Amino acid sequence: MKLMVRDQLDPRLKVYIEHSDEIWNFHFPQSVYASEHGLAAGLSTDPNEAAIRWHSKRSREIFGIFEEVFPPDRLIRVLASQTGNPWVSSTALNFGDTRFHTDALAIAPYLDFRPPDFPRLLGMNLDQLFQELETNVEPRVITAVRAHADIARAAHVSLVAYEGGQSLVAGGPYASLNPLFDAANRDPRMGSLTSRLLQDWSDASGGQLFLHFTHCSRWDQYGRFGSLEFLEQPRNQAPKYDALMRWIETDPNSGLVPSGLPDAPANLTFSVSGSTVALNWAASAGAISYDVEVGSRAGGTDFGVFSATTPSFSGPAGPGIYYVRVRARNAAGASVASNEVVITVGAGCSLPPPAGLTTTVTGSRVTLMWAGVPGAASYTLEAGSATGSSDLAAIDTAATSFTATDVARGTYYVRVRARGTCGAGAASNEIIVVVGS
């Protein structure tokens, strides 16, 4: 398939590749399949976790296949999740090295009612229904979107909507709600609600892709998903379609209105005086505050996220090694991260650097080996696109060797650190790993 897509698809188009959506939904056979295979592979003893981990593992394998023939700027590797359960996103992204081969986390933000809601909906009129949609349902969905956006940002991937819109569906003992749901979808307020959903999505996701489901379809007990009820329907009779078109017409290049997020902070620098660390960065246009993220590894925030109202921050820090980056924030949300700096306070960690880091490369398979360090509980492998950088991967392992398969073509700058109770120690020798030369 990878060769067929490469050879037959218009080369100006990007390729979005996804394993499957709704792996979490056991009403579908792919979920049962994933759970059975995850359990058999020993990925977990819990059927749900086994399914999600298998989904992550299989996604990673499929991404690797397409990486062999597509350059990074043309391939979008999509990992599907569940809107109502951020645990799925966190579990899938953080299993193995999947997040380092993922470009986008995908959810389906639908305005829907939960089963416990239906009994009280039976007595509602249109005004009451829209009051419920506007004050409870839409805010609940966007709160979930923001949670996924935080998870995606921490993993350095974007957040997209593989589908979304309204999902007013009633069946069985609640089938009498269908006329009310039909009327709601024809009401002008549904257009306003659709516009609000798109704007709130754009603000929370940073203006990322939203695929509305669907263009035109019949409305029945299984839903009223179509923005049009029939292809020739006048725009002024189709409030969802009108809202979507007005949204697209705002920006014909992307279909998105500006999200209002501030620019990313630039030129983050630091100085250390004794146990005091001082940070400085260029002010971001539109920012009202800044998030200073501090972690024990590249991209991490396990040491904390601190707020600053000016483009500088200082405070005491114990001996150790700290990975720090900054995000600008305003009412629309947080920006992408600044450059990351690695700060050593005091003597840093007392663990010495691992010695003798070497590699062997066979095709797209890379094996790294190094000497163990007494007192080390684990090791962190750092891989970057330039010397000293860790922008491509930061992988923890308890062993003194590591093998990665289906590694994308390219040049990698790699080093390893021992980790103990004091955090990460000094870096080993750095090696340059070339794959696919």
pLDDT for 383: 87
Closest to 294 measured CA to CA, from 324, 336, 334, 264: 324
Tokens of 235: 């725009």
Backbone angles phi, psi at 321, to 5 degrees: -115, 130
Cα–Cα dist 191/64, whole Å: 41
Residue 255 covered by a domain: no
pLDDT for 17: 96
Question: pLDDT tens digit string along 132-178?
Answer: 999 999 999 999 999 999 999 888 888 999 999 999 999 889 999 99
Closest to 410 measured CA to CA, from 380, 389, 383: 383
Question: pLDDT tens digit string along 82-135?
Answer: 999 999 999 999 998 898 899 899 999 999 998 899 999 999 999 999 999 999
Same domain, 166 and 112: yes
Same domain, 196 and 110: yes
- Domain total in the chain: 3
Closest to 202 measured CA to CA, from 155, 151, 152, 159: 159
β-partners of residue 110 are 165
pLDDT for 129: 97
Residue 22 CB neighbours (<10 A): 16
pLDDT for 388: 80
Residue 75 covered by a domain: yes
Q: 3-state class of 78 per DSSP?
A: strand
Question: How crowded is the C-beta side of 311, counted as CA atoms within 13 Å?
Answer: 17
pLDDT for 273: 86
- C-alpha 278: how far from its chain's center? 30
DSSP string, 154-195: HTT-EEEEEEEEEE----GGGGGGHHHHHHHHHSHHHHHHHH
Domain that holds residue 310: 266-345
Q: Which helix (H) or strand (E) holds 427?
A: strand 423-427
Same domain, 185 and 87: yes
Of 311, 345, 379, the domain-final residue: 345
- pLDDT tens string for the chain (437 positions)? 989 998 888 887 889 999 999 999 999 999 999 999 999 999 999 999 999 999 999 999 999 999 888 888 789 999 999 999 999 999 999 998 898 899 899 999 999 998 899 999 999 999 999 999 999 999 999 999 999 999 998 888 889 999 999 999 998 899 999 999 999 999 999 999 999 999 999 888 877 899 999 999 999 889 999 999 999 999 999 999 999 998 887 754 443 434 577 888 999 999 988 888 999 999 998 899 999 988 877 666 778 788 899 999 998 888 888 889 998 988 777 787 888 888 888 765 567 889 999 999 998 899 999 999 888 888 889 888 888 877 777 788 889 999 988 788 888 999 998 887 666 788 899 999 998 86
Residue 260 covered by a domain: no
400 touches 373 (CB < 8 A): no
Report the CATH number at residue 218. Answer: 3.20.20
Same domain, 296 and 335: yes
